[in-house]
Chain A
């Protein structure tokens, strides 16, 4: 054994095996901040346990609050849409109840039947018309624009 053999670097002391220092935690199971340098597997294991506990607690703690924030943001927008759709439905519904001539009544009834399908909540609150943040892609809902015109034409006829 030579003098140089006796010399031990810090790596020799702290990194007896590279494998010991390579995190075995796959990315999809990693929670929290990634360490900047290699980390002992025991530490890594502790991180995994405690960070995962924190992650799950963080998920549920924020969820209730953000659900409510989302609801509060959507409720008035849904209310405005409901009122606009209701106006179209109400006008037509009243129109077909009146003692008018047969042609006008028939036209109104046909439109009312279409409205039941085309302005159903499933058709109005549809991904087609909203962006990923659930904001209308166009300033005004296209179905409302279309149907307001149709109904006003009927009422003015």
Chain B
């Protein structure tokens, strides 16, 4: 198909616009993807950290209930896929719900101080690290996530 001169000018500008948009938009999207992925999967890491410390033999002997929960949690963690493919995101959401329920049971069965170590406090710690929550003592000095050189 032959283009009119107007269409040709438009097409040339269109191609230039597409090329220019690509780099900046890709980076913008990747920044957001890194941040979202970090916040989403931090809880899995926290749980793996608890299991890592237990595997190292830190703390007293575990109850049979705790041992069962841990083996089930490990199986669930292995099923998680870290990508943004629609089916995997839905499946991961379901697994996360199961893991959180098992973590709630596990914290009650661990030889730790129940007041300080429960799902609520683990979540709070995750939100602090993820920038979704600030400690009261820090409130006046913390603002936007993009302060302090993040991107």
Contact = CB atoms under 8 A, between A and B. Distances in A.
Contact of A31 (B12, B44, B45, B53): B12
B3 to A, nearest CB: 11
Given A58-B17, A67-B28, A71-B84, A97 B37 contact: no
Interface in A64-109: 66-100
B84 A53 contact: no
Contacts of A75: 33-34, 36-37, 82-84
A97 B113 contact: yes
Contacts of B84: 71-72, 75-76
Contacts of B9: 32, 46-47, 49-51, 54
Nearest to B115: A97
Contact of A83 (B12, B15, B35, B42): B42
Interface residues of B, number: 74
Contacts of B42: 82-83, 85-86, 89
B29 A93 contact: no
A95 B53 CA distance: 7
A155 interface: yes
Interface string B45-67: 11111101110101110000000
- A: interface residue count bin: 35 or more
A133 B27 contact: yes
A48 to B, nearest CB: 8
Q: Which of A63, A83, A95 has the most CB of B within 10 A?
A: A83
Contacts of B29: 66-74
B149 A128 contact: yes
Contacts of B46: 86-87, 89-90, 93
Interface of A: 31-33, 43, 46-47, 49-63, 66-100, 115-116, 119-128, 133-134, 155-156
Given A43-B5, A76-B82, A83-B45, 4 more contacts: A73-B30, A82-B41, A98-B58, A122-B148
23 contacts: A53-B13, A54-B11, A54-B14, A56-B17, A58-B19, A62-B21, A70-B32, A71-B36, A72-B83, A73-B33, A74-B29, A74-B32, A78-B33, A81-B34, A85-B129, A86-B43, A86-B48, A95-B58, A96-B116, A115-B129, A121-B35, A122-B131, A125-B34
Interface of B: 5-7, 9-22, 25-50, 52-54, 56, 58-60, 82-84, 110-113, 116-117, 121-122, 125-126, 128-131, 135, 145, 147-151
